[in-house]
Structure 1
């Protein structure tokens, strides 16, 4: 599966970070890229279950490709969502089904710094994405 320009940008940016502190700062900066979600969209139907923090997720289909909108009140989680969206936006449902989220965060040098609850949360977000795109 080839990387989109946004995913390549994330990979290059995180690869240039020499340590966790720099990656954490970059993660916060990526999180600032996510536009706040309108209050009207912060409804239970858009909320991801299985996350300790509030996470909202919406999906839009363009031809056979998917675009996602996500937001969280938690800063670090917003960063994780931003780099996840960089990886998944524009994928087909079949490509999304094959995505290994742990591998993606490993490539970014983030996986060993994620708490089990954050890892579970990111898996819950990916699972919800898969549910939204399934026919």
Structure 2
């Protein structure tokens, strides 16, 4: 395996874990605080991966994404220069890390954000940035 940073999202911290934790956080401030705490659980992203090849276009903040296929699943790592975006990346990692191409294609990230009550708190630029990241992951897993 490559030098992909190991993280707990999608494996030890599942979608249902995050759904439960976020549904218990009342209001945007509590949810935002939780996202920032989750962001702290992401490992240091290798400096050599912070390049244009790994940068996701369409995001206002800088976002780097690494995807690697291993057997029938896709492994992901991500980072951002924004703490809030980094927290939102943990949701993307929980949704798509260590999943099959079919699982990735079939998961509706926007619907999940709506279920969690997060979509209404996202600015247009953050929402568009998340959409760009998810689109990138789906396109890559569809190759």
With normalisation by structure 2, the TM-score equals: 0.86
Alignment length, in residue pairs? 133
Cross-structure match for 1:15: 23
Structure 2 runs not aligned, ≥5 long: 1-9
- Equivalent of 2:60 in 52, 63, 67: 52
Cross-structure match for 1:120: 128
Cross-structure match for 2:5: none
State whether structure 2 residue 118 is matched by structure 1 residue 110. Answer: yes
Structure 1 runs not aligned, ≥5 long: none
Q: RMSD of the TM alignment (CA)?
A: 1.5
Conserved? CA contact 2:95–2:109, under 8 Å: no
| Whole-angstrom distance in 1 between the partners of 2:62 and 2:28 | 25
Give the deviation of 1:26 after TM superposition. Answer: 0.3
| Whole-angstrom distance in 2 between the partners of 1:119 and 1:99 | 17
Higher helix share: 1
With normalisation by structure 1, the TM-score equals: 0.91
